[in-house]
Amino acid sequence: MATTANKTINAKIVLLGDVGTGKSSLVLRFVRGQFVEFQESTIGAAFFSQTLAVDDATVKFEIWDTAGQERYHSLAPMYYRGAAAAIIVYDITNLASFERAKRWIEELQAQGNSDMVMALAGNKADLLDAKNVETEEAKTYAQENGLFFVETSAKTSSNVNNIFYEIAKRIPRVQPSQNPAGMVLMDRSAEQTARASCCSY
Ligand SMILES: Nc1nc2c(ncn2[C@@H]2O[C@H](COP(=O)(O)OP(=O)(O)OP(=O)(O)O)[C@@H](O)[C@H]2O)c(=O)[nH]1
C-alpha cells in the first residue's frame, strides 16, 4: 500500500564566526544534546549530520562546523559554497565578534548562493551580565540584511533547536538539480551506442 511519505530534503549548512563564539558548542548541543565547558578549538572543520522533521518535510542537515581562527579563513569557501544555509555566530559578550559576523555576512552576500538561508546567532545568551552587543542592534542589522536572528545559548540550550528549525522551514522545497559543476565524461563508444539507438532524423 502506498504511503504518503514526507518529502526528504538534504541541506548543507555551514557555521561561521569568530574564534570561541560557540559554533562547535551549538552543533554539539543540537546533534548530541551535550555541552562541554572547555570545548577545544576546531581545526579546519568538523562534519556532523542531524535530521529534523518540520511540518511538510524532513530535513537532513549536513553540518559543517568551521574553525574560527583567522588562519583557516581561506578554507571557508569550500564549506559555504553550495550550502543551502549558514548560521553566522557571534558572542553577545564580545563586540569584536559581532563586527566579525558582519564581515562574514558580507562575504556570503558577495560569494555565497544567492538563495542561501542565513541566520545570525548571538550566542552565550546565558552570560547576560557580561552582555556587550545590544539585542536591538543585532536584530536591526539582521532585518536590514534579510537574516533570521535569534540569541542562543549552547550552555542552557536556549533557542538552539529553534534556530535549526526556523532554517529548516525556510529552505526551498524545490532544490536545484544536483548537476556536477565539472565536465561530464563520456566514453566515445557509449556515445555512439546512444546515438545509434536513438532518434532517426
Ligand atoms: N557560557 C557559555 N559558554 C559557551 C557557550 N557556547 C560556547 N561556550 C564556551 O565558549 C568556548 C568556545 O566554544 P566553542 O564551541 O569551542 O567555540 P567555536 O566557535 O567552535 O570556536 P573555534 O572552533 O575556535 O572557532 C568553550 O569554552 C565553550 O564551553 C554558551 O552558550 N554559553
Q: How is the chain classified by DSSP, letter by letter?
A: ----PPEEEEEEEEEEESTTSSHHHHHHHHHHS---TTPPPPSSEEEEEEEEEETTEEEEEEEEEE--SGGGGGGHHHHHTT-SEEEEEEETT-HHHHHHHHHHHHHHHHHS-TT-EEEEEEE-TT-GGG--S-HHHHHHHHHHTT-EEEE--TTT-TTHHHHHHHHHHHS-SSPPP---SS-----HHHHHHHHHTS---
0.95 surpassed by complex ipTM: yes
Q: Whose CA is nearest to atom 3 of ligand 1?
A: 124
Question: How big is the CA angle at 63 (ends 103 and 31), to the nearest 5 degrees?
Answer: 120
pLDDT digits (tens, 9 = 90+) for 137-185: 999 999 999 999 999 999 999 999 999 999 999 998 776 554 444 444 4
Average pLDDT over residues 107-124: 95
CB atoms within 10 A of CB 40: 7
Is the distance from the beta carbon of residue 20 to the nearest atom of ligand 1 less than 6 Å? yes
Of 82, 77, 79, 104, the residue nearest 21 (C-alpha): 104
* Res 124 pLDDT > 50: yes
Alpha-helical segments (H) within 43-146: 76-80, 95-111, 135-144
Residue 176 Cα, ligand 1 centroid: separation in angstroms?
Answer: 34
**pLDDT per residue over 60-71, tens digit each?**
999 999 999 999
10-54 residue pLDDT tens: 999 999 999 999 999 999 999 999 999 998 999 999 999 999 999
Quick one: pLDDT at residue 176?
55
7-170 CATH choice from 3.40.190.10, 3.40.50.300, 3.40.605.10, 1.10.260.40: 3.40.50.300
pTM, to two decimals: 0.87
C-alpha cell at 55: 511540518
Give the Å distance between the CA of 198 and the centre of ligand 1: 59
Ligand 1 centroid to Cα of residue 137, in Å, is 22
Output the CA 185–ligand 1 centroid distance in Å: 45
Atom of ligand 1 nearest to the CA of 152: 31
Q: Ligand 1, from 16, 19, 24, 150: best to mutate by most atoms within 8 Å of Cβ? A: 24
Separation of 29 CA from ligand 1 center, angstroms? Answer: 11
- The ranges assigned to domains in the chain are 7-170
Q: Which of 86-95, 129-138, 157-166, 178-187 has the lowest mean pLDDT?
A: 178-187
In terms of pLDDT, which residue wins out, 22 or 5? 22
Confidence (pLDDT) at 5: 55
